[in-house]
Amino acid sequence: MQRSGKAGQITTHVSDGVFRQLIGVNFLNSSNSVKQPIQWFSSVTTPLVLTTRLLGAYRYLDISNFAQTSGWEIRTNGNILVIATPKAQVTNIVQSQEPPEASAPLQQTRIIVELDRPTPWQVLQGSAIAKSQTPSSDPDTPTPKPTTPLNRQWTITLDGIADPLLIERYTPQPPPAPPTLLPNLLKQLLPVTPTQPIPAPTPEPLIQKVEVVKNQTIISLSVPFGLSPQVSTVANPNRLIIHIRPDPLEERDITWVPGLRWRQHYVNLGTERFPVVWLEVNPRKFGLALKPMWASTDGLTGTAPLIQTAQRYLAVAGINGGYFNRNNRLPLGAIRQNNQWLSGPHSESRCDRLE
């Protein structure tokens, strides 16, 4: 979105969701709803602060000065805002093991992506990776089934081109063809003897592949179960740092609008820590109201993703509902609207969580 400012100056605003997800900007804590500190290849102690503006259900950030300092080119194509960023070079990728922590028994790893300049990046969670089965060297012995959970695929995409040596370094080699073995007839006639213990399978490499597609570098990761990437950026020199750890959530406390705070923290319960994300709402603040919303415009029947329903209601924030009947898709439990209680029948016990 572009607006005319003083002396005919054009200011550019983008929604906070786009800025975070497509550019990789990290939002820092803020108690002022019209000011949002950010960190993007910059200092955390002296962050850049952007002005915010709430329009309808979206919060927009004024990125005019930020884009000019970063060397971005911004233009409009009809009602589409086009942002062109200078292409960066991925000069090196370094992987190292981090020292163990008492609160994190799983092995943690750090990947450093070295860049010649700041560049947008995105992180995307993929599906589980099926493990390749290595046939036994003895044709009379069945191939053992994997006993460890499957790894999950994650991809890191950067607007930049990787050095050809990096692509070659992380190009997966085709697996060797298994040998053709014949059954041991003599062994089948002899009494059964205890077999040698099966050696532990070799762990998969964390970095599965590095490739360049449409002037973007894509880093494919195979992350063990129970771990996730936590991505951050630093400057001087410019680097993207990927921490593979069991507690990737970054604790935040941000005032989105007056009376509405978005928070995510770890909550300690005994010896365990649990990530919790919640909203703190003060309905006494002017302009804020708590209302129920549902997927269908004709009644209570129906389910839909939360973000889709919230956008249709022009909601600034939304919270998942309770449970619903999977057969007739009616909510279980009471909903209060306009001083009336609404509910679906409870004759069937099978229900799902409302998403």
Which range scores top for mean pLDDT: 73-82, 90-99, 231-240? 231-240
pLDDT confidence of residue 247: 87
Higher pLDDT pick, 167 / 181: 167
pLDDT confidence of residue 226: 86
Higher pLDDT pick, 56 / 67: 67
Lowest-confidence segment of 50-54, 69-73, 127-131, 178-182 by average pLDDT: 178-182
Residues 271-324: tens digit of each pLDDT: 888 999 998 988 888 778 888 887 777 777 777 888 888 888 888 888 877 777
Instruction: Count the residues in the chain.
Output: 355
Q: With bands split at pLDDT 50, 70 and 90, how would you rate the model's confidence at 99?
A: low
Which range scores top for mean pLDDT: 15-24, 281-290, 293-302, 343-352? 15-24
DSSP state letters, 232-249 = EEETTTTEEEEEEES--P
pLDDT confidence of residue 204: 77
Lowest-confidence segment of 37-41, 255-259, 307-311 by average pLDDT: 307-311
Q: Is the pLDDT of residue 352 over 70?
A: no
Percent over 70 (pLDDT), the chain: 79
Q: Is the pLDDT of residue 35 over 70?
A: yes
Q: Is the pLDDT of residue 114 over 90?
A: yes
- Angle at CA 84, nearest 5°, toward 81 and 87? 160
Helix or strand or coil: residue 67?
A: helix
pLDDT confidence of residue 190: 55
Q: Give CB contacts under 8 A, 24+ apart, made by 102-110.
A: 103/247, 103/273, 104/245, 104/246, 104/247, 106/224, 106/226, 106/227, 106/245, 106/246, 107/224, 108/227, 108/243, 108/244, 108/245, 108/246, 109/206, 109/243, 109/244, 110/241, 110/242, 110/243, 110/244
Residues 122-134: tens digit of each pLDDT: 999 988 887 766 5
Q: Please state which architecture CATH assigns to domain 87-129+150-172+204-248.
A: Sandwich (2.60)
CATH code 2.60.40.3500 region(s) in the chain: 87-129+150-172+204-248
What is the mean predicted confidence (pLDDT) over 342-355?
A: 54
E-strand stretches of 78-206? 80-84, 88-97, 109-115, 121-129, 151-158, 160-162
DSSP state letters, 79-111 = TEEEEE-PPEEEEEEEEEEPPPBTTB-SPPEEE
Report whether 253 contacts 247 (CB < 8 A). no
* Torsion angle of the four alpha carbons 292, 297, 299, 300, in this order, in degrees rounded to the nearest 10: -50
Higher pLDDT pick, 15 / 353: 15
E-strand stretches of 224-299? 228-234, 239-245, 252-257, 260-269, 272-281
Higher pLDDT pick, 296 / 353: 296
Residues 216-226: tens digit of each pLDDT: 999 999 998 88
Alpha-carbon dihedral sign for residues 10, 15, 20, 25: positive
pLDDT confidence of residue 62: 93
Q: Is the pLDDT of residue 340 over 90?
A: no
pLDDT confidence of residue 119: 95
What is the mean predicted confidence (pLDDT) over 24-39?
A: 94
Q: Is the pLDDT of residue 353 over 60?
A: no
User: Residue 232: exposed, middle, or buried by beta-carbon count in 10 A (0-12, 13-18, 19+)?
Assistant: middle
Q: With bands split at pLDDT 50, 70 and 90, how would you rate the model's confidence at 255?
A: very high
pLDDT confidence of residue 301: 76
**Cα separations (Å) of 48 from 34, 63, 140, 187?**
14, 11, 66, 73
pLDDT confidence of residue 254: 94
pLDDT confidence of residue 355: 42
